[in-house]
């Protein structure tokens, strides 16, 4: 009897353990079901009632050793072996995209195509009249919008697709009624399509569905092309486009739908270019510029307003849209205003610079952490100022203006510790220098040596470079590291090098220009003499003239070498007195170049007497310099 009781107790204990394991397993199933439902986006919870096991009444508890079971939750659960070539998450996403999205899109396209084939067959056999065909399309479009309203809350992607198809069907139905069957005139067709666009925008905001607003916007910009009669209706057309752009602006205040901004911007550009290429003339300049300006202001605001309203940092999309809006607006305005109003184009570019400056100030005040957007708007400001200078002025004043602008930019970069400002300023000064060297260096036929417009321009830029190096030193910060890109010391050295290079280059050109004038004067004199000899019948030996021209060339070359020689000495002396190693090295290099040129080129082009005097003078100068280095080498080492 005792054995039977023990046996019964063991069975009951085992059943209790099994019942506990089943309960734990059911709890695990409930948790897994809840996770699956959350992943599927189902809001309603499905109650799952697990089967329960009713154990028979247990007798009095008896101490029985039971096997130990770990918590089911802590046990490793079974996972299906994923595809070796594709992670589980990626595989599920791919399956979701194909099964849930692309199949739906293909299915909608196939459905529309099948209905089209059916309707075409019915139309060809005159089963349905023209008005009936249009009504079928309108009813189908409204029905699809209704289905989209029904499905979109539970099946978001599917509902968007259905609603988008409904909008497309409605657009096409009205277009066919206007263009093919002439059942309605242009104005009703235009108003109905505008209403369809508005419905699509409202639904997209209501559902927070960007695909719907893209379909609606695309249909809105296609509407002018669909209902066009080939006539010029500028005010009506651009008023409609402006209303559509203002709707996009309103949405941009609450939704960060950048694709909508991009689509609206390019749609506006396409409509404007299509109209202007066909209908624009100078008589419509005022109205066209008015609408073009309103378009520009709308998109320059819509690309930035969301970040300002939400106090959110910008991304590259905002900068790109802002840049494209400014560039296309200015280019289109320039094409219409130039050349009739060219005198105002520099002022126009300055207005653009002021506009972007105000934007930069607003961004700094509202979103001070958005350094990228602030810097970008500041560069647009500087860019239009840079553009205004050559548009408003001509000749050498452009190089001077760019050089002044460059110095201002670098000072701002030093004061604000913005490397980008310093880099742009350095680039601008380099641009001004290149223009000075290759565009502004040509002398006029009546220019005097040194006292001419070319030398005056060089003088202004050289003084500006020296003054800039001094100003940079005053504005330099003690916290700036020596290895920083474009550190103040590097900028000072760069501008000193530029100043000395421009000095040597400009004075060398003046020396060459002086002897070129001598050659031209001598050639004119010889031409007059030759003409007189021809008139009187005298002969003239031209070898003397060529010999004289060679001597002038030799004097020019020697004078150039002597100038380099003495300027190099001046640099060496200044470098020692100011204890600036770079200046000393530059002077020595220029001095060495002058010596090599004198010895290997200039001496051999002179006469014997000049060659003797020049070589002896050069030898004395070099020996004197060498003696000075030897005698004062200890002091020189202290300076170095």
Rg (the chain; Cα; Å)? 43
**497 burial level (CB within 10 Å; 0-12, 13-18, 19+):** middle
Terminal-residue alpha carbon distance, the chain: 115
The greatest distance separating any two alpha carbons of the chain, rounded to the nearest whole angstrom, comes to 165
Supply the DSSP string of 233-273, one letter for each residue. -HHHHHHHHHHHHHHHHHHHTT---HHHHHHHHHHHHHHHH
Report which DSSP code applies to 448: P
CA distance 574 to 568: 10
CA distance 221 to 193: 10
584 phi/psi in degrees, rounded to 5: -60, -45
The per-residue pLDDT for 461 is: 94
Q: Which of 471, 557, 473 is nearest to 519 (CA)?
A: 557
Q: Residue 230: which region, alpha, beta or left (left: phi > 0; alpha: psi -120 to 50)?
A: left
The three-state secondary structure class of 188 is helix
Query: Which residues lie closer than 8 Å to 347 by C-beta, 6 or more apart?
Result: 388, 392
Report which DSSP code applies to 59: -
CB 413 within 8 A of CB 426: no
Structure tokens, 632 = 């004062």
CA distance 397 to 403: 10
Query: Which residues lie closer than 8 Å to 513 by C-beta, 6 or more apart?
Result: 443, 447, 449
pTM listed for this prediction: 0.64
Q: What residues does each domain of the chain span?
A: 2-59, 395-532, 556-640
Query: Which residues lie closer than 8 Å to 523 by C-beta, 6 or more apart?
Result: 545, 549
CB 350 within 8 A of CB 295: no
Structure tokens, 422 = 């310093």
CA distance 551 to 402: 41
The three-state secondary structure class of 303 is coil
CB 428 within 8 A of CB 386: yes
Q: How many CA atoms lie within 13 A of 437 on its CB side?
A: 13
Query: Which residues lie closer than 8 Å to 503 by C-beta, 6 or more apart?
Result: 462, 567
The per-residue pLDDT for 115 is: 57
| Helices 258-279/234-252 angle, 10° precision | 170
Query: Which residues lie closer than 8 Å to 343 by C-beta, 6 or more apart?
Result: none
Q: How many CB atoms lie within 10 A of CB 63?
A: 6
pLDDT, averaged per 10 consecutive residues of the chain (640 residues), comes to: 50 61 64 60 44 46 42 39 41 48 59 58 68 83 84 73 79 76 82 84 81 81 80 85 86 85 93 91 91 94 86 83 92 90 91 93 88 87 91 88 91 82 90 91 82 92 92 73 72 91 94 89 82 74 74 85 89 83 86 82 68 69 70 61
Q: How many CB atoms lie within 10 A of CB 461?
A: 25
Report which DSSP code applies to 76: P
The per-residue pLDDT for 66 is: 43
Give the rounded distance of the alpha carbon of 284 from its chain centre.
32
User: Contacts by 18-23 with C-beta closer than 8 Å and gap 24+?
Assistant: 18/53, 19/53, 19/55, 20/69, 21/69, 21/72, 22/50, 22/51, 22/53, 23/50, 23/52
For CA atoms 434, 440, 443, 448, give the dihedral sign.
Answer: negative
| Cis preceding-peptide flag for 339 (omega within 30 of 0) | yes
For CA atoms 301, 306, 309, 315, give the dihedral sign.
Answer: negative
């Amino acid at each position: 009897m005792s054995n039977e009781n023990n046996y019964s107790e063991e069975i009951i204990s085992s059943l209790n353990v099994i019942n506990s394991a089943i309960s734990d397993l059911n709890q695990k199933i409930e948790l897994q079901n809840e996770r699956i439902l959350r992943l599927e986006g189902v809001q309603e919870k499905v109650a799952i009632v697990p089967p329960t096991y009713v154990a028979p009444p247990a007798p009095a508890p008896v101490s029985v050793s039971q096997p130990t079971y770990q918590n089911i939750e802590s046990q490793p659960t079974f996972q299906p072996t994923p595809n070796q070539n594709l992670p589980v998450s990626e595989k599920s996403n791919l399956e979701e995209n194909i099964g849930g999205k692309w199949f739906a899109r293909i299915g909608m396209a196939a459905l529309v195509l099948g209905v089209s084939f059916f309707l075409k067959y019915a139309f060809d056999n005159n089963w349905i009249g023209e008005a009936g065909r249009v009504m079928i399309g309108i009813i189908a479009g409204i029905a699809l919008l209704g289905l989209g309203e029904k499905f979109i809350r539970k099946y978001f992607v599917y509902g968007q697709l259905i609603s988008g198809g409904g909008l497309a069907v409605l657009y096409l139905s009205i277009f066919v009624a206007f263009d093919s069957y002439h059942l309605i005139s242009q104005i009703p067709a235009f108003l109905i399509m505008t209403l369809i666009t508005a419905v699509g925008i409202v639904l997209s905001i209501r559902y927070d569905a960007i695909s719907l607003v893209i379909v609606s916007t695309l249909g809105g910009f296609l509407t002018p092309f669909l209902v066009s009669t080939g006539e010029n209706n500028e005010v009506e057309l651009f008023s409609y486009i402006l209303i559509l752009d203002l709707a996009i602006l309103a949405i941009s205040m609450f939704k960060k739908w950048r694709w909508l901004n991009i689509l609206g911007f390019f749609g506006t550009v396409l409509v404007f270019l299509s109209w202007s290429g066909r209908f624009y003339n100078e008589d419509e300049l005022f109205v066209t510029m008015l609408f073009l300006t309103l378009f520009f202001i709308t998109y320059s605001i819509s690309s930035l307003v969301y970040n300002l309203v939400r106090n959110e940092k910008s991304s590259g999309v905002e900068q790109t849209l802002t840049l494209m809006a400014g560039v296309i607006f200015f280019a289109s305005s320039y094409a219409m205003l130039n050349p009739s109003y060219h005198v105002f184009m520099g002022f126009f570019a300055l207005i653009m610079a002021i506009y972007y400056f105000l934007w930069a100030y607003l961004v700094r005040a509202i979103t001070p952490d958005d350094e990228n957007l602030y810097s970008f708007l500041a560069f647009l400001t500087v860019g239009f100022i840079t553009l205004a200078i050559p548009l408003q002025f001509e000749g050498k004043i452009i190089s001077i203006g760019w050089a002044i602008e460059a110095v201002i930019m670098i000072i701002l970069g030093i004061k604000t510790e913005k490397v980008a400002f310093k880099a742009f300023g350095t680039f601008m000064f380099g641009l001004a220098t290149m223009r000075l060297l290759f565009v502004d260096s040509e002398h006029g036929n009546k220019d005097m040596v040194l006292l001419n417009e070319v030398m005056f321009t060089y003088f202004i830029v050289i003084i500006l470079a020296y003054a800039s190096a001094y100003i940079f030193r005053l504005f330099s910060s003690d916290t700036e590291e020596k290895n920083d890109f474009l550190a103040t010391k590097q900028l000072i050295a760069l501008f000193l090098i530029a100043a000395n290079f421009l000095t040597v280059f400009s004075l060398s050109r003046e020396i060459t220009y002086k002897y070129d004038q001598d050659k031209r004067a001598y050639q004119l004199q010889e031409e007059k003499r030759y003409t007189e000899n021809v008139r009187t019948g005298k002969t003239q030996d031209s070898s003397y003239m060529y010999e004289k021209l060679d001597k002038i060339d030799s004097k020019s070359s020697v004078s150039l070498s002597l100038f380099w020689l003495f300027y190099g000495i001046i640099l060496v002396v200044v470098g020692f007195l100011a204890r600036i190693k770079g200046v000393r090295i530059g002077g020595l290099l220029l001095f060495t170049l002058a010596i090599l040129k004198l010895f290997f080129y200039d001496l051999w082009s002179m006469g014997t007497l000049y060659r003797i005097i020049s070589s002896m003078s050069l030898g004395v100068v070099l020996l004197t310099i060498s003696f000075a280095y030897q005698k004062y080498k200890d002091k020189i080492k202290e300076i170095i």
